Amino acid sequence: MENSTHYEIFRLAAYGNIGQLKYFYFAVVTVLYVVIILANAFLIGVICIERSLHEPMYLFLCALFVNQLYGSTGLFPALMFYLLSDTHDISLLYCYFQIYVLYTYAITEFSNLAVISYDRYMSICYPLQYNNIMTPKIICGLILLPWVYSFFLNAIVISLSLRLQFCANVLDRVYCDNFSVVKLACSNTTLNNIWGLFAAVVSYSCTICPTIYSYVRILQICLKSSKDTKQKAFNTCTPHIASLLNFSSGCLFVFLQGRYDTAHLPAILRTILLVYFLICPPLFNPLMYGARMVKIRQACKKVLGRYPKT
């Protein structure tokens, strides 16, 4: 262990010296956060209130929107505070707390998207058995399992990081992420790296592979079906596939910045790519689902008093 120090704070260097621009950035971030809260909370309320939406697919979407509120809250309040603050120091305890929230959000998001793809697969490929398979007990399990799994997995990640001693405390980020923290450690990080690789492989394998398989099978069924069936499957699956691609792209941006030198990119672009997975999915998913899915659109109009009650 060389030149190790017991640091109690980290410095988030990505904020830099932005001068008076901080007020503009603060206004933009505040508007985005308010829109995310209102859009996600409104759709959660609509799904809970409208009995016509008490079906597996919409309950899984509700879980997705809840997770997006959870993940956004792990970033935006701190981001807004540090934009206006003259110091950009973050306590070690809060840094680990933020890592835990953001990592559980990411894994739960992938898991929820996998659950939605499985639900669509069962609905389209096995329509006659669908109601017998998707029982209330199975639905509850598919909603709770992503949370339990991600909380347990990331509890181990944090417990391994808590034992580290550090050579430096400057993070080139606007938020804490575990990979950047581990890179600052002077102590042995072999166990952290092994568990991190294992957790990533298991998480992605258990979410991406079933998702891809589900949509491939759906495509195969659609190619053999009538035009109306193809159109219905397309309208149902398009928002889910768009959500998966959107969120996966954001996570890929973070992964690439952690492993490769991106100093040649403008600082503002690096920051946008880092926060993309925390801003764009929670912002666009409610708008996309609300616009593309007829039953949600009708339920929203009904709740707002613009749709005739029957």
Cα separations in angstroms, 306 against 41, 124, 152, 291, 309 = 19, 32, 44, 15, 9
Q: Give the whole-angstrom CA distance, residue 251 versus residue 249.
A: 5
Indicate the pairing of strand 89-91 with strand 9-12.
antiparallel
pLDDT of residue 310: 47
Q: Give the whole-angstrom CA distance, residue 79 versus residue 179.
A: 19
pLDDT of residue 4: 54
Q: Give the whole-angstrom CA distance, residue 55 versus residue 52.
A: 7
pLDDT of residue 254: 87
Q: Is 79 domain-assigned?
A: yes
> 108-142: string of b/e by CB count within 10 Å (b at 16+)?
bbbbbbbbbbbbbbbbbbeeeeeeeebeeeebeeb
Q: Is 12 domain-assigned?
A: no
pLDDT of residue 202: 86
pLDDT of residue 68: 95
pLDDT of residue 6: 67
pLDDT of residue 238: 82
Q: What is the CATH number of the domain that holds 102?
A: 1.20.1070.10
Angle, CA of 57, 61 and 62, to the nearest 5°: 115
Angle, CA of 102, 97 and 13, to the nearest 5°: 80
pLDDT of residue 200: 82
Q: Give the whole-angstrom CA distance, residue 164 versus residue 192.
A: 10
Helix axes 267-292, 294-303, angle to 10 degrees: 80
- Where is 246: in which H helix or E strand? helix 227-259
Q: Is 261 domain-assigned?
A: yes
Q: Which residues contact 18 (CB under 8 A, 6 or more apart)?
A: 25, 83
pLDDT of residue 257: 81
**Nearest alpha carbon to residue 67 among 147, 178, 131, 136:** 147
- For 73, the domain range is 19-303
R_g of the chain computed on alpha carbons:
21
Give the chain's domain count: 1
Q: Are 10 and 89 in contact (CB under 8 A)?
A: yes
Q: Is 289 domain-assigned?
A: yes
- Copy the structure tokens of residue 112: 């929820």
**Nearest alpha carbon to residue 254 among 168, 146, 151, 172:** 172
Q: Is 166 helix (H, G, I), strand (E, B) or coil?
A: strand
pLDDT of residue 2: 52
Q: Is 6 domain-assigned?
A: no
pLDDT of residue 3: 54
Q: Is 5 domain-assigned?
A: no
| pLDDT string in tens for the chain (310-residue length) | 455 566 788 999 888 777 788 899 999 999 999 999 999 999 999 999 998 899 999 999 999 999 999 999 999 999 999 999 888 899 999 999 999 999 999 999 999 999 999 998 998 888 889 989 899 999 999 999 999 999 999 999 999 998 888 888 898 889 998 888 988 888 888 898 888 888 888 888 888 888 889 888 888 887 777 777 777 777 778 888 888 899 989 888 888 887 777 777 888 888 888 999 999 999 999 988 887 788 888 888 888 875 555 4
Q: Other C-beta atoms within 10 Å of 213: how many?
A: 14
pTM, full prediction:
0.90
Q: Which residue has the tokens 């792209």?
A: 249
